[in-house]
Amino acid sequence: MQYRRLGRSGLAVSELCLGTMTFGNTTNETDSITMMHDFLDRGGNFLDTANVYVQGRSEEIVGKAIKNRRSEVVLASKVRMMTGEHPNSGGVSRKHIMDAIDASLKRLDTDYLDLYQVHVWDQATPIEETLRTLDDLISAGKVRYIGCSNFFAWQLMKSLAVSDRDRYARFVSIQPQYSLVSREMDREMLSLCLEENVGIIPWAPLGGGFLTGRYTREEPTSGRLTSKQGESSWALRNTDKNFAILEAVQAAAKELDKTPAQVALAWLLRREGITSPIFGASTLAQYEENMGAVGWAMPESVWNRLNEASALPSEYPNRFIAKFARPL
């Protein structure tokens, strides 16, 4: 396992991040703890959870697993989604953040989070209020670093500008959806993160399971892609382009003697700006397969073929810039 700095911080994180969204749900507690312990034993140090995963059960299981290994773990969680019925049980107001951090720390059985992330932009709360509160949590020792997730590029840039202006802690990372079948980040967010040195920790690096190669053109009857809503719904994945990308992944897997999942993760590991893809696993077999994405280097020729197959269509203003704004 190799390590990378998270954005402009000095924090070293493993090249893969173990996601825990299924822990306590489709992954039972015993298997969840086995995965986390094995991940740490093999050099992984980055664990990602959220206060709303399985109604907080994920955080409880993570806390139980790392209780005696806390110092070696980079522990990330999130705040924003609704956790109750009353009007202040969601968002990133000062009240909700202060309530949510204490609840997460209690479930995780720890005194601090290494990375606390805004799960999605809250249009009802001024970003100044959110950043001031997060800065206070850092000063109080409850949080070491802060990040965001599911932001537009302008929202991230506004947040960074406010932090610089008011001398608050900056977001060191963003957690977006990003994979061979979800490359919308390429339009603006990726170049912004490179310019501002913001770490990128993608979720759904396997497209909700689509890139594992388990699915055909027939609508699935099991797995995440059966969902009628969300980013991993069959309606979003079942496109001609996505299946063309999948065919390219499967061809590369056969050529490299790897699985499609390993190839899809390895492509991300070579992508400029990507810090640590977040992979999940419902079973120990899936976990073991995904761990096989590290320890080898994807040939540049294969990476280029996958990159071309999955690239976004030529769009303005990138098309215009490429033609008329070349460096002198």
Which active-site residues does the annotation give? 53
Longest dimension (CA), the chain: 59
Q: What's the token pair of residue 175?
A: 């957690």
Q: What is the number of other CB atoms lying within 10 angstroms of the CB of residue 196?
A: 16
Q: What's the token pair of residue 62?
A: 């993570």
Helix (H, G, I), strand (E, B) or coil at 221: coil
The H or E element that residue 144 is part of is: strand 143-149
Alpha helices, H only, 257-299: 260-269, 284-291
How many CA atoms, within 13 angstroms, populate the side-chain half-sphere of residue 72?
A: 14
Q: Are 218 and 197 in contact (CB under 8 A)?
A: no
CA dist 193 and 237 (Å) reads 26
Q: Are 194 and 200 in contact (CB under 8 A)?
A: no
Query: Which distant-in-sequence residues (6+ apart) come within 8 Å of 236 by Cβ?
Result: none
Nearest residue to 130 (alpha-carbon basis) of 173, 85, 87, 100: 100
